[in-house]
Chain A
Amino acid sequence: MSDLEAFRSETRAWLEENCPATMRSGVGESLTSGEGDICWGGRKFQFKSEDQKLWLERMGSRGWTVPTWPTEYGGGGLSKDEAKILQEELRRIKAKPALVSFGIWMLGPALLKFGTHEQKLEHLPKIARGEIRWCQGYSEPNAGSDLASLATKAEDKGDHYIVNGQKVWTSYADQADWIFCLVRTNPDDKHNGISFVLFDMESEGVSTKPIQLISGYSPFCETFFDNVTVSKTNLVGEENKGWTIAKYLLTHERTGISDMGMPAPLNSLAVEKLGTIDGELEDKMLRHQIAEHEIDAASFVFTMERAKDEAKAGGDMGAFSSMLKGYGTEINKARHELIVKVNGSDAFEWEGQFSNNGEIARSWLRTKANSIEGGTTEVQLNIIAKRILDLPA
């Protein structure tokens, strides 16, 4: 038996023993909508069940929440091939993710690349075990798509900074423990005057105010900083060189947002809900729309697979992540439009049994943010035009 085969059978046995039965019902639509029954971890997190807690502890203790990170930083230390096997085995038993977090898919990769050894030792294991939940302090009221216009100021006070300003659209700021934040350390240079800092959301002078979304969820906040003290040990990379880190992190964010996996086929939903005549959906127009969509969606899933294979072979993802982000999020929105069409009037029930208390409508509305958060579709198209197609400014 090859090493990989041995790894697979050990993994399978371990999962068999350690993944609680209630954690084996798949992710469902709620993951694509970003809400619902997800384990986010963190100091304030209320576990939905004892099993959810157990599942996180077990996966976290093996470092399998972040399988490829080095073991010294709380990771699983797996090779890419082993990590792929782990993922396949998790998918095989329809395991729910033990932990979903901005720490894992955004901050972690940035710290691994740009952080000091001390910073990695301090923060990465806590991310891996779901102990500290992070939020992203990038956007400001006047710095959205034009992120480099941010104004939140960090004054140099020797061994620390004093931070003043306001962030907006900070997802889960009210539930997060720490924030990774872009601040201005030089007012005279737009891109080379930004620094990347980390601090505790319980620091003196940090406050948050929830904002409600059209979906009825309230996942994000206005975030205010009033003379917040941030130690310089929490500066990642060099002062004024935070833009590089910010961009690196954004490519991870974008790849993450676009990775919807192979969602349950729309057609089985439609067949279940609407029935068929001679094996074909009765609503011919809807059948056509679904087919057209599923062809695009499957092609996109193959594209994610190809991008991963290319990355594995050493290719540089670079601006290609913008294409994945733009296309993937538009596909996801289109998919939810179709889910709504298939469900007819039931889809719009805000409360009630046909819609699982409005889950269909709320998910549908939530997907509208997919093409805004992490950089809008228009901004992704700008990036493709300039960085890939080399079109003039």
Chain B
Amino acid sequence: MAMILNEEQQLLKESAEGFFNEKAPISQLRQLRDDKDETGYSKELWTEMSEMGFAGLLVDEDHGGTGFGVMGAGIVAEAMGRTLSASPYFASSIVGASLIKMAGNDTQKSTLLPAIAAGETIVTLAVDETSTHNPERTSVKATSAEGGYVLNGMKTFVPEGHVADQIIVLARTSGDAGDANGLSLFLVDRRAAGVIADRTVMSDSRNWAKITLEGVKVSAENLLGEEGAAMKALGPVLDKANIILASELLGIAQECLDRTVAYLQERKQFGVLIGSFQGLQHRAAQLFSEIEVTRSAVMKAQQMAEMGGDVSWFASLAKAKASKTAELATNEAIQMHGGIGMTDEFDIGFFIKRARVAQTLYGGFNYHADRFARTSGY
């Protein structure tokens, strides 16, 4: 596969960029934040996104999706990174849909996938329990009860957790915290008795929640995939999710560079444009280089994921590289904007706040560099 976008992907990129620029500029996120919007995303936007087919990019056509695959999903995520548009896209269309596709039985697929693709049902994943990503350390318990299970425990950092219709909960059916075996996935209705979803207010002004499960009863049909073997599906899905997060981080970095370069071309100090100072030129050029190199890592990972097979090495590489570059880009953007970069009124600060959250979700640089090393044999 050549490392260039084909015609169809190029078209998708253009239409996605046009769409988010017009329908979901940063001012929309700012508005949602300032209004303390209950959902934290614009329902109108989500409906339009679904009509555009964005909600079903990873859902195959038989289930009402567009089947564009990981590259397409990454291209759209990158465009969303550029305008910081808020929607359940990542939680539901990427993670939710992929998990149901990987682990779901026919009934689960045929009821949930079309609803996700249509943007009617929001599905999210609840995996982390502490402030650092570590699925193996899961301790939320699922105990067998007649005809099903009872869930107890707490989850944190759940994207769209307080607006999701269904929460896929990773819970322990056997073993101890730290074991990769003994974990199972359950579809839990957010409105079920015993589910408490607390919205958390985060730096990126997006939707997150802490989910407390107090004796939540689920039936055996709500088991997603094999009991005790959740990692079989969750591993590959988290890889895919990290590739999409890397794509979003790439969009954020690119947008930070573009905005910064534009500023260097117009801001004057000492009677000249600050962009004529070599100290800044070199830093901008270095950032450009890092972003180009990151683009290759992300694109490679997208392509490998599209081809199937184990992509953990590529996914960790892409997420680590994109995290590092997004960190550089957002920091440099603020520094090169000077005082105005620190003001809330100016938009550049929104990028750093989103970037760090996206970096942290499902493992940041250190987590993935470590995993990259392990999968490389050291």
Q: Would you give the 0/1 interface string for A257-269, flagging 1 where the beta carbon is closer than 8 Å to chain B?
A: 0000000010110
Stretch at the interface among B122-130, B227-235, B295-303, B349-357: B295-303
Name the A residues within 8 Å of B320 (CB-CB): 295
Given A299-B297, A305-B296: A381 in contact with B285 (beta carbons within 8 A): yes
Q: Which of A218-248 contact B (CB under 8 A)?
A: none
List the B residue with the shortest CB-CB distance to A327.
Answer: B289
Q: Would you give the 0/1 interface string for A92-118, flagging 1 where the beta carbon is closer than 8 Å to chain B?
A: 000000000000000000000000000
Q: Using a Cβ cutoff of 8 Å, how many contacts connect chains A and B? A: 130
A128 smallest CB distance to B (angstroms): 28
Q: Does A27 contact B (CB under 8 A)?
A: no
Q: Which of A198-214 contact B (CB under 8 A)?
A: none
A104 smallest CB distance to B (angstroms): 25
A290 smallest CB distance to B (angstroms): 7
Q: Would you give the 0/1 interface string for B278-299, flagging 1 where the beta carbon is closer than 8 Å to chain A?
A: 1011101110110011111101
Q: Are A391 and B275 in contact (CB under 8 A)?
A: yes
Query: How long is the Cα–Cα vector from A295 to B280 in the complex, in angstroms?
Result: 26
Q: Which of A271-307 contact B (CB under 8 A)?
A: 271, 276, 279-281, 287-288, 290-292, 294-296, 298-300, 302-303, 305-306
Q: Which of B1-48 contact A (CB under 8 A)?
A: 2-4
Given A306-B3, A309-B2, A309-B3: A268 in contact with B377 (beta carbons within 8 A): yes
Q: Would you give the 0/1 interface string for A135-161, flagging 1 where the beta carbon is closer than 8 Å to chain B?
A: 000000000000000000000000000
Q: Would you give the 0/1 interface string for B90-110, flagging 1 where the beta carbon is closer than 8 Å to chain A?
A: 000000000000000000000
Q: Are B3 and A299 in contact (CB under 8 A)?
A: no
Q: Does B61 contact A (CB under 8 A)?
A: no
Q: Does A389 contact B (CB under 8 A)?
A: yes
Binding site of B, secondary structure by majority: helix, strand, loop or mixed?
helix
Q: Are B284 and A296 in contact (CB under 8 A)?
A: no
Name the B residues within 8 Å of A268 (CB-CB): 377
A84 smallest CB distance to B (angstroms): 11
Given A292-B369, A300-B293: A391 in contact with B276 (beta carbons within 8 A): yes
Q: Does B172 contact A (CB under 8 A)?
A: no
Q: Which of A340-393 contact B (CB under 8 A)?
A: 378, 380-382, 384-386, 388-393
Point out which of A276, A296, A320 has the most chain B C-beta atoms below 10 A from its C-beta. Answer: A296
Q: Are B378 and A276 in contact (CB under 8 A)?
A: yes
Q: Would you give the 0/1 interface string for B344-378, flagging 1 where the beta carbon is closer than 8 Å to chain A?
A: 00000000000000000000000001101110111
Query: How long is the Cα–Cα vector from A309 to B4 in the complex, in angstroms?
Result: 7
Name the A residues within 8 Å of B273 (CB-CB): 392
Q: Does B112 contact A (CB under 8 A)?
A: no
Of B284, B292, B373, the residue contacting A291 (CB under 8 A) is B373
Q: Does A313 contact B (CB under 8 A)?
A: yes
B47 smallest CB distance to A (angstroms): 36
Q: Are A290 and B378 in contact (CB under 8 A)?
A: yes
Q: Which of A301-327 contact B (CB under 8 A)?
A: 302-303, 305-306, 309-310, 312-313, 320, 323, 326-327
B104 smallest CB distance to A (angstroms): 33
Of B288, B295, B299, B373, the residue contacting A388 (CB under 8 A) is B288
The number of residues on chain B lying at the interface, defined by a beta carbon within 8 Å of a beta carbon of chain A, is: 39
Name the B residues within 8 Å of A265 (CB-CB): 376
B118 smallest CB distance to A (angstroms): 35
Query: How long is the Cα–Cα vector from A385 to B278 in the complex, in angstroms?
Result: 9
Q: Would you give the 0/1 interface string for B300-314, flagging 1 where the beta carbon is closer than 8 Å to chain A?
A: 100000000000000
Q: Does A270 contact B (CB under 8 A)?
A: yes
Name the B residues within 8 Å of A267 (CB-CB): 373, 376-378
Q: Does B264 contact A (CB under 8 A)?
A: yes
Name the A residues within 8 Å of B2 (CB-CB): 309, 312-313
Q: Are B321 and A296 in contact (CB under 8 A)?
A: yes
Q: Does B317 contact A (CB under 8 A)?
A: yes
Query: How long is the Cα–Cα vector from A382 to B294 in the complex, in angstroms?
Result: 21
Q: Are A382 and B278 in contact (CB under 8 A)?
A: yes
Name the B residues within 8 Å of A276 (CB-CB): 378
Q: Are A389 and B261 in contact (CB under 8 A)?
A: yes
Q: Are B276 and A392 in contact (CB under 8 A)?
A: yes
Q: Are B376 and A294 in contact (CB under 8 A)?
A: yes
Point out which of B292, B293, B370 has the most chain A C-beta atoms below 10 A from its C-beta. Answer: B293
Q: Are B299 and A306 in contact (CB under 8 A)?
A: yes
Given A291-B373, A384-B289: A389 in contact with B284 (beta carbons within 8 A): yes
Point out which of B284, B288, B321, B373 has the most chain A C-beta atoms below 10 A from its C-beta. Answer: B373
Query: How long is the Cα–Cα vector from A306 to B265 in the complex, in angstroms?
Result: 29
Q: Would you give the 0/1 interface string for B53-71, flagging 1 where the beta carbon is closer than 8 Å to chain A?
A: 0000000000000000000
Query: How long is the Cα–Cα vector from A215 to B284 in the complex, in angstroms?
Result: 33
12 of the cross-chain contacts (CB-CB < 8 Å) are A267-B373, A294-B376, A299-B294, A302-B293, A306-B3, A327-B293, A382-B285, A386-B281, A388-B285, A389-B281, A391-B264, A391-B265
Instruction: Report A's interface with B, CB cutoff 8 A.
Output: 265, 267-268, 270-271, 276, 279-281, 287-288, 290-292, 294-296, 298-300, 302-303, 305-306, 309-310, 312-313, 320, 323, 326-327, 378, 380-382, 384-386, 388-393
New contact pairs (8) apart from A290-B378, A295-B320, CB-CB < 8 Å: A294-B372, A295-B317, A296-B293, A302-B3, A305-B3, A326-B289, A380-B285, A389-B285
10 pairs of A and B residues whose beta carbons are closest in the complex: A385-B281, A384-B285, A306-B3, A302-B296, A299-B297, A303-B296, A381-B285, A391-B275, A291-B373, A309-B2
